[in-house]
Amino acid sequence: MESKITYYKTPIGTAKIIGDENGIQSVSVLDDDAISNESLNLKTPECLEDCVLQLEEYFTGERTNFDLKLNPKGTTFQKKVWTALLNIPFNKTKTYLEQSKALDNVKAIRAVAAANGKNPIWIIIPCHRVIGSDGSLTGYAGGIWRKKWLLEHESPVKQQSLF
C-alpha cells in the first residue's frame, strides 16, 4: 500500500502528514519556507483528512485528545516508549526519569530520551510533554521554541503580556 502525503499549515510551522489506510506513520513540522504553495494547496487524501481535522481542532483549542489510528515505524523499544508517551495527559508533563520509571527501567533514561527524539508523530504522540528533571525544556526535534509554544498552548492559565 502506497503512503499518502499532505500538508497542513499550523501556527508554528507546516505539518507534513504521511499515512495510509493502516494509520498515520508520520507527522513532522517544517518551517513555512520549506514548502511550496502548490504543495499546500493539494487536496488532502481521504485517509489523512481526519488527522488534519483533529490537528486543526487541537490548534483552535477544541481538542485535547487525539483519536487516530497510528502506525509509526520504529523498533519494538521505540514503539513501547511512544505508547507510554500517549499516557501523558493534555496539560501535564513528565520528566525523562519519570518516563523511564513508567517503563519499569530507570536505567534506560538515555535510551528513552533517544526514542523520544525519534518520535515520528509530532504532537499526537506528545513527546513535547517530557521535560528535564530540573523543569527545563530539554531536547525537542521541532525546536525548543515550538516545545515551549505547545506547552503554553496546552496550559489552562494563559500568560498575559505586560506590554
Residues labelled catalytic: 127
Q: Are strands 23-30 and 130-131 parallel, antiparallel or unpaired?
A: unpaired
- Burial class of 67 by CB neighbour count within 10 A (0 to 12, 13 to 18, 19+): exposed
Place of cell 500568560: 159
Residue of 110, 109, 92 whose CA lies nearest to 100: 109
Residue of 31, 23, 62 whose CA lies nearest to 7: 31
